[in-house]
Structure 1
């Protein structure tokens, strides 16, 4: 007897699902990282602090003393889960599971300075130990992802759904755009965040990429996506103007 075909429970992602997954991933300050213990091959899980490169690749600052650092040095295969809990059933809240390969960044790597700046923008207290000799950055290159957005809304995603390659010229202006917005347009940032459901004042932009930005306020973080993708450094101004106008109703 022929076995009945098993239907794939995962949906093909649309732009709404991609946007939700990006918001969940890039606003996450921490996540659960799983890897394989070298001595036994058994699974190992750790809680890790997260940053992100401009293209959305997760970024870890790890100590050589940590078991997951030693494990990933032997076998870079890993998985990362992010998702914030809220009221009610924990399984009813969105979560993103990323399958990845971990790669260590040497201190003289081309993107090492960028990684350091972006990680500290999200975790400023890490400046106390980021330059210790036993600490290093790991970049997680995404292999695939599963996004559970709620009941009957689960999506199977490719690396291109949650990450991308960002041109050097756009990466090069990030610090200037961020400083300008934080120093000269603080009220506009608060208005944008309020329009996107964030409470309070004093929000500051931590990181920017062609699709949006992450803002922080104390321990809180929120991602806001632009209304259209930024393709040139001069487009950042229009992207923020559109968000400000939308916040004004």
Structure 2
């Protein structure tokens, strides 16, 4: 995580939540209480809450069903010394996904992990969200901060129209505006040219991916509906084209 004079711990935490696709999930061994850690794939709820898809046959799932307290570590995955990169340790509880959110959670996870389509409907697999109680952020020397969920999660109560239109918007962007997506990645975020595609949008920004690479483009202001999203993306594309 690059050091800068202006350090915004809330933004750094949000970026790690949105960009991370794998993390270390710590649970408590059922019946013993010993710590147990495992590697899991991660996606994000529209508000930034981590989503995991795990099998009931896995040890960590059995642990969660006995004691829902968990910790999830997400890191920046930088080259070189990994301790030089940013990371968060999120503490909270793993919860079953409510039935009214299951369709949304499923599509957001599959947008982030298309290969999961092969097993997502197996009877032993279930989606869980990790409801944070707090986060411990380590973002470099002297930049260690504890945050409450209200400091890093994205409010979505006023964004129902956007969330209902999200998948259609993603499909349209990827089918008809891949040139703009590439401009967002290369001109606004400084990434190398690649087969960039949009994998998610929420009131605070959009998520982009090319293979294993993931980027986050924050909006300069909140977006809560599909027409506001269209205007925002057009404006960002114009800004990108104007960048030398």
Find 1:138's aligned residue among 128, 134, 153: 128
1:244 aligns with 2:237: yes
User: 1:153 Cα deviation (Å)?
Assistant: 1.3
Secondary structure (helix, strand or coil) at the match of 1:87 reads coil
Check if 1:159 corresponds to 2:149: yes
Output one character per residue of 1:93-124: Cα deviation in whole Å (capped at 9) or x when no partner.
10011111111126xx0010111101000111
Q: CA deviation at 1:15?
A: 8.0
SS at match of 1:213: strand
Q: Which of 156, 176, 180 is the aligned partner of 1:184?
A: 176
Q: What TM-score do you get using the length of structure 2 for normalisation?
A: 0.91
Shift of 1:232: 3.2
Query: RMSD value over aligned CA atoms?
Result: 1.6
- Any gaps of 5 or more consecutive residues in structure 2? 1-5
Q: CA deviation at 1:170?
A: 2.1
SS in 1 for 2:150: helix
Computing the radius of gyration from Cα coordinates, the structure with the larger value is 1
Alignment counterpart, residue 220 of structure 1, candidates 210, 213, 216? 213
> Where does residue 23 of structure 1 map in the other structure?
15
Provide the C-alpha distance between the structure 2 equivalents of 1:61 and 1:19, rounded to a whole number of angstroms: 26
Equivalent residue number for residue 7 of structure 1: none
* Counterparts in 2 of 1:154 and 1:29: CA distance versus 1, 3 Å: same
Q: Deviation string for 1:64-114 (max 9, x for gaps)? A: 0101101011111111111133233321110011111111126xx001011
- Does the Cα contact within 8 Å between 2:160 and 2:224 map onto a contact in 1? no
Unaligned residue ranges in structure 1 (runs of 5+): 1-13
Q: Could you tell me how far 1:165 is from its partner in structure 2? A: 3.9
Q: Which residue of 2 aligns with 1:231?
A: 224
Asked if 1:55 is matched to 2:47, the reply is: yes
* TM-score for the superposition, normalised by structure 1: 0.89
Q: Is the 8 A contact 2:30 2:66 kept in 1?
A: yes
State the number of aligned residues.
Answer: 234
4+ residue runs over 4 A deviation: none
Confirm whether residue 100 of structure 1 aligns to residue 67 of structure 2: no
Deviation of 1:128 after TM superposition, in Å, equals 0.5
Distance 1:223 1:35 in 2: 29
CA distances 1:132-160 after superposition (whole Å, capped 9, x unpaired): 00000001111111111111112211102
Going from structure 1 to structure 2, the CA distance change for 1:209 and 1:56 (only over 3 Å counts) comes to same
Inter-CA distance 178–15: structure 2 relative to 1 (3 Å threshold): farther
CA–CA distance in structure 1, aligned partners of residues 235 and 142 of structure 2 = 34
Which residue is 2:26 aligned to?
34
